[in-house]
């Protein structure tokens, strides 16, 4: 492979991973507040269809992205209402919405299937775009890809460096303590669930107006991405930077699948497309396995030097969810 092709490939990974970044950062914010929005697969499909439809009829890309964010926020507010106020199982509500919104996307998107509209264009940044290697890699993208870089940085800064970010983490870790300190836990949870949903809702139009431009119904190739987003959120250990790493790693795997395809003509393309999933299970296993009791017991039997090495590796990979994730908050309980 030539250097140019490699550079183009890496550049492609950065832009094709951008929608996943929006999804993962949105979900990370929501889950940090103690709510898991399992509807992600439906959110991405419905916002992809809705954003495409709005741009198709209005001729405005901005309107399409706003519609995507609005759809994401609307779905998230149903999750919030059902789980925060009505205290229903977050898994149940999220799963139903994942299926319902997917079918709704296919149903409502039926008439506009296969039509074409405008798509995002590249906006090279003057000056910076001409730097060798770094220029084409980082400074020749569309606006939403730049925004995805900024989003990761902003989410990291907000969570780690601001008081409000501290409160966000507090309502997901120990809502009771946060309540005693004066936080309106329920209102904040509503806010972050809807905010996270709106951010994730940008992922859909980013697919249908750029990365996989168009709406092709069930063969749009978007079904399943939402579930990947949810697993990357876990892999990311509920932190923006590690989540971004996970998203790019996934993009790399998909790109490798495309590159390796011609080398393996006997393997159907569908098989390589699912190659990330066994890896996803493997990474979840690595992330979680040190939480298992038998691992602790097995480690205790190993000689001291080996034990320390394995322990350090496992601890580096390990991630624990926000302590109050999934649990409804009741100030009187």
Partner 1 sequence: MRDTTRSRIVTGALSVLAALALSSIIIAATGHDPIVAYKNIAQGAVGSTKVMANVLVSWIPLLFATTGLLFTFTVGLWNIGIEGQITLGAIFCVGAMRSLENAAVAPGIVITIALLAGITGGMLWALLAGVLKTFGGVNEIFGGLGLNFVATALNLWLIFGPWKRPGVASMSGTLPFDPKFWMPTITPQSRLALVPLLLSVAGIILAFILLKGTYFGLRLKAVGKNPKSAYMLGIPTWQHMLLAFAICGAFAGLAGAAQVTSVYHRLIPSISSGYGYTGLMVAMLINFNAVGAAPVALFFAALNVGSIQLPIMLQLDSSLAGVIQGALVLFVLMGNGIRTMLIKKTRSKLQ
| Interface positions with partner 1 (CB under 8 A) | 38, 78, 81-82, 85-89, 91-93, 95-97, 99-104, 106-108, 110-111, 217, 224, 227, 230-231, 234, 266-268, 270-271, 273-275, 277-278, 280-281, 284-285, 288-289, 291-292, 294
Q: Which of 11, 31, 37 is nearest to 201 (CA)?
A: 37
Closest approach of Cβ 147 to partner 1, in Å? Answer: 28
Cβ-based nearer residue to partner 1, 33 or 82: 82
Which residue lies nearer to partner 1 by CB, 154 or 289?
Answer: 289
Q: How far is the CB of 77 from partner 1 (least distance, A)?
A: 13
Q: How many angstroms separate the Cα of 201 from the Cα of each of 29, 114, 259, 281?
A: 13, 22, 29, 25
**Residues in CB range of 5: below 8 A, 6 or more apart:** none
**Residue 136 · residue 11 · CB < 8 Å:** yes
Task: Identify whether the C-beta of residue 44 lies closer than 8 Å to the C-beta of residue 35.
Answer: no
The contacts of residue 191 (CB under 8 Å, 6+ apart) are: none
Residues 218 and 90: beta-carbon distance below 8 Å: no
**Residue 248: CB atoms within 10 Å:** 18
CB of 193 to partner 1, least distance (A): 16
Least Å distance between CB 275 and partner 1? Answer: 8
Which token pair is 142? 């569309």
Least Å distance, CB 45 to partner 1, is 11
Which of the 8 DSSP states describes residue 85? I
Residue 140, beta-bridge partner list: 124
Residue 170 or 247 having the CB closest to partner 1: 247
Nearer to partner 1, 174 or 273 (CB): 273
Identity of the residue, 102 or 141, whose beta carbon is nearer to partner 1 in the bound complex: 102
CB of 175 to partner 1, least distance (A): 19
Per-position b or e across 78-101, b if 16+ CB within 10 A of its CB: bbbebbbeeeeebeebbebbbeeb
User: Radius of gyration of the chain from Cα atoms?
Assistant: 21
In the block, tokens 């994401």 appear at: 72
Q: Which is nearer to partner 1, 274 or 323 (CB)?
A: 274
Residue placing its CB nearer to partner 1 in the complex, 92 or 133: 92
Task: With beta carbons less than 8 A apart as the criterion, state whether 100 and 41 touch.
Answer: no
- What is the CA angle 256-258-264, rounded to 5? 95
Q: How far is the CB of 139 from partner 1 (least distance, A)?
A: 35
For residues 245 and 284, which CB has a smaller minimum distance to partner 1 in the complex? 284
How far is 118 from 102, CA to CA, in rounded Å?
Answer: 24
Beta carbon of residue 48, minimum distance to partner 1 (angstroms, whole number)? 15
């Amino acid at each position: 492979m030539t250097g140019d092709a490699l550079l183009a490939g890496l550049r492609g990974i950065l832009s094709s991973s951008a929608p996943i970044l929006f999804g993962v950062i949105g979900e990370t914010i929501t889950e940090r507040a103690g709510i898991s929005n399992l509807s992600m697969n439906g959110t991405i499909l419905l916002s992809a269809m809705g954003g495409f439809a709005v741009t198709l009829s209005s001729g405005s890309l901005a309107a399409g992205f706003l519609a995507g964010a609005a759809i994401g926020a609307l779905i998230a507010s149903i999750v919030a209402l059902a789980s925060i106020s009505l205290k229903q199982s977050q898994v149940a509500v999220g799963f139903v919405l994942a299926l319902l919104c997917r079918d709704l996307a296919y149903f409502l998107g039926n008439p506009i299937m296969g039509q074409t509209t405008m798509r995002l264009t590249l906006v090279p940044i003057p000056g910076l775009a001409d730097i060798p290697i770094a220029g084409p890699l980082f400074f020749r993208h569309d606006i939403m890809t730049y925004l995805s870089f900024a989003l990761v940085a902003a989410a990291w800064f907000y969570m780690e460096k601001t008081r409000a970010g501290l409160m966000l983490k507090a309502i997901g870790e120990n809502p009771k303590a946060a309540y005693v300190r004066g936080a309106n836990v329920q209102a904040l949870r509503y806010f972050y669930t809807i905010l996270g949903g709106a951010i994730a809702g940008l992922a859909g139009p980013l697919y249908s107006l750029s990365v996989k431009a168009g709406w092709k119904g069930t063969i749009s190739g978007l079904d399943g991405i939402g579930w990947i987003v949810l697993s990357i959120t876990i892999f990311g250990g509920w932190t923006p930077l590690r989540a971004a790493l996970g998203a790019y790693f996934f993009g790399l795997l998909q790109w490798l699948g495309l590159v390796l395809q011609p080398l393996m003509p006997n393997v159907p393309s569908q098989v390589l497309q699912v190659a990330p999933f066994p890896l996803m299970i493997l990474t979840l296993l690595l992330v979680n396995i040190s939480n298992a009791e038998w691992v602790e017991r097995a480690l205790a039997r190993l000689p001291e030097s080996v034990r320390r090495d394995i322990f350090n590796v496992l601890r580096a990979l390990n991630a624990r969810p926000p302590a109050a994730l999934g649990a409804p908050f009741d100030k009187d309980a």
